[in-house]
Structure 1
Amino acid sequence: MFKTLLGALGTGSTEVETELFTPGVQPGQPVQGVIRMRCQDRPVRINGVSVELITRAEREYDDGEQLLDMAFAQLPVFGPFELRPGHPLEGRFELLTPWETPITFYDGRHLHGTAVAVRTRVDVDGGFDATDTDPIGIGALPPQHVLLAAVESWGFGLRHADVEAGRVDRIPQQLPFFQEIEFGPSPRFPGLNQLEVTFLADPHGMYVVLEADKRAMMFAPGRDVQDAIRVDFATFQQVNWVDVIGQRVHLLAR
């Protein structure tokens, strides 16, 4: 469906439609689509049209937190050009999703709290209009699926996932945010309130960050403890990840 974008900027009735050919991908795969533009009454000078991925992230402050729309993986599609009435224009694109893109689906389940979309940006006379946004599903990579299933096998129940603005300490990271996938407590680890999993992937493998919320004990306050595992994509199928996750969580729970 065409959407009117630029009327508020005094450029006439200019419309844009973005169609995605790939409604769902995995991190590292391309999103393919086409942008169609047309105008109704008079020519419009367009400086450029681009697409980008966008997700909503939480930024924490001393007195609370704020939700931010954070863009990443920007790609110019076409322009500059003059859009004329009766002469619609279209441009195809292939936008590569970064390996660290937050996932929104795992094991056929939507990860509530995380969303990713493709946003179309139109630059006209120095002004941007970015109202055309199309949601897209990001499925878990096979190694991510295996690791999440291993966590569930130890009795932790999947709750939700959110995206945090910032960086993970001492772990290589490309994007200015990271995803936390939260699991509720397991009866096998009564000393833990919850377990959070973060994936920071690259073309060759990924870091898996485990963060556990330890319950307060009689002589010890509650606190967060963290561990990280490096997974090699080429050899991950040779490892018993249920055993590895169990060993690491036992160490966190001590």
Structure 2
Amino acid sequence: MVFKRLLGSLGVGGPTVDTVLDPGSAAPGGALTGRVHLKGGAADFDIEHITLELVAQVEAEHDDGESLGTVTFERFVVGGGFRLAEGAEHSVPFTLSLPWETPITELYGQGLGIVLGVRTELSVAGAKDKGDLDQLAVGPLPVQEAILEAFGRLGFGFKSADLEYGRIGGTGQQLPFYQEIELTPAPQYAHAVNEIEVTFLAGPGGVEVVLEADKRGGLFAEGHDAITRFTVGHDDVPHQDWNALVDGWVRQLVEHHSARPAHGSYGQGYEGHGPYEDHRHHDAGHRSGPGVGTAVAVGAAGLAVGVAGGLVAAEVVDEVGDFFEGDDEDEGGED
């Protein structure tokens, strides 16, 4: 997606900016590359700085329910300090390192309904202008894909994904929000849980995996949430029996047993922890639910097949389109 617009704060005759991301999806902690193209206006302009912002559409819970907002989670100055002559063209290449906790927006080529973007800010002679958003695609790290594939092979299905504003206590979380990937239970666990939510908190050495189960109530007990976490290293991918490992995680979560030691560690060396219980009713106290515009219709033949063969619901397309086309609170008219 390419955007071009007249810098509204500079008025008619100002320079235009056209930011282009290189094709393909990026990865958490990986490089994002592209170019910012400038075309001079009706006079010479001093370009003070060119800044790229990474933004996300995030849900926030409050007393009145949930609302959607935009969070800027990283800024990069990629150029500036030059004069753009009247009518001249200038191109600035860039290479950015995405934060390790950057959310996944697609899996097996299928969009998950997660909305991320890159916004360009141009500072010219003391005036700042923020252009439209360029949609950012992010695929999973190998260890994240291995875990999700294992869930699929075990019979879990993809339900939805969203971004939640806030922090998960006891983890090494860095960003002010986290991603939840919600899965329908495999047949062997359907009697015990309504769904399982997966959160990945990646770092240079590995990934902290937070699992939450929305547990079903029984005859003498109401439903409640159970949460546990584990860490796995990036180097574990070719050496691990992921089906057995993930199935063991789920069994510990469902059966309330203490978790085994973590398979690998990173950062502060977080280890696996046993589930703790939140005994609120799941409808009132659940950490999150399917987000607005993030439900993806998929088949029931497992996570991998379901996501790859599913159809993005119309509301997802509308929500993404509205975010990138309608975010103009600081902008002027189109070029």
Q: Distance in 1 between matches of 2:50 and 2:164?
A: 29
Aligned to 2:228: 227
Is 1:124 the counterpart of 2:101? The answer is no
Q: Distance in 1 between matches of 2:84 and 2:132?
A: 18
Q: Distance in 2 between matches of 1:252 and 1:22?
A: 40
Q: Distance in 2 between matches of 1:160 and 1:79?
A: 41
What is the letter of the counterpart of residue 120 of structure 2?
A: T
Q: Distance in 1 between matches of 2:104 and 2:31?
A: 14
What is the letter of the counterpart of residue 117 of structure 1?
A: G
Is residue 48–residue 122 contact of structure 1 (8 Å, CA) maintained in 2?
yes
Q: Distance in 2 between matches of 1:65 and 1:127?
A: 35
Q: Distance in 2 between matches of 1:3 and 1:181?
A: 34
Q: CA deviation at 1:125?
A: 4.5
Aligned to 1:152: 152
Is residue 181–residue 196 contact of structure 1 (8 Å, CA) maintained in 2?
yes
Q: Distance in 1 between matches of 2:111 and 2:69?
A: 21
Q: Distance in 1 between matches of 2:92 and 2:223?
A: 55
What is the letter of the counterpart of residue 115 of structure 1?
A: V
Aligned positions of 1:16-165 closer than 5 A: 16-111=17-112, 113-165=113-165
Is residue 4–residue 13 contact of structure 1 (8 Å, CA) maintained in 2?
no
What is the letter of the counterpart of residue 100 of structure 1?
A: E
Aligned to 2:199: 198
Q: Distance in 1 between matches of 2:65 and 2:13?
A: 42
- When residues 167 and 126 of structure 1 are mapped into structure 2, their CA distance, relative to the original with a 3 A threshold, is farther
Is residue 42–residue 87 contact of structure 2 (8 Å, CA) maintained in 1?
no
Q: Distance in 1 between matches of 2:253 and 2:218?
A: 15
Is residue 213–residue 222 contact of structure 1 (8 Å, CA) maintained in 2?
yes
- The 3-state SS of whatever aligns with 2:222 is coil
Q: CA deviation at 1:235?
A: 2.8
Residues 178-217 of structure 1: per-residue CA shift (max 9 Å, x gap) = 1101111332111101011000011110101111101122
Deviates more, 1:181-190 or 1:42-51: 42-51
Q: Distance in 1 between matches of 2:169 and 2:117?
A: 27
Aligned length: 253
Residues 42-71 of structure 1: per-residue CA shift (max 9 Å, x gap) = 233432111122221111112112212222
- The 3-state SS of whatever aligns with 1:226 is strand
Q: CA deviation at 1:2?
A: 6.2
TM-score (norm 2): 0.71
Residues 13-68 of structure 1: per-residue CA shift (max 9 Å, x gap) = 32101112243111121111111112332233432111122221111112112212
Tell which has more relative contact order, 1 or 2 (C-alpha 8 A, sep 6+). 2
Unaligned runs of 5+ in 1: none
Is residue 154–residue 188 contact of structure 1 (8 Å, CA) maintained in 2?
no
Q: Distance in 1 between matches of 2:72 and 2:125?
A: 22
Aligned-pair Cα RMSD in Å: 1.9
- When residues 233 and 126 of structure 1 are mapped into structure 2, their CA distance, relative to the original with a 3 A threshold, is same
Aligned to 2:333: none
- Counting aligned pairs with the same residue, the percent is 40
Is 1:182 the counterpart of 2:175? The answer is no
Q: Distance in 2 between matches of 1:2 and 1:137?
A: 16
Is residue 142–residue 234 contact of structure 2 (8 Å, CA) maintained in 1?
no
Is residue 22–residue 31 contact of structure 1 (8 Å, CA) maintained in 2?
no
Q: CA deviation at 1:77?
A: 1.3
Is residue 146–residue 237 contact of structure 2 (8 Å, CA) maintained in 1?
no
What is the letter of the counterpart of residue 223 of structure 1?
A: H
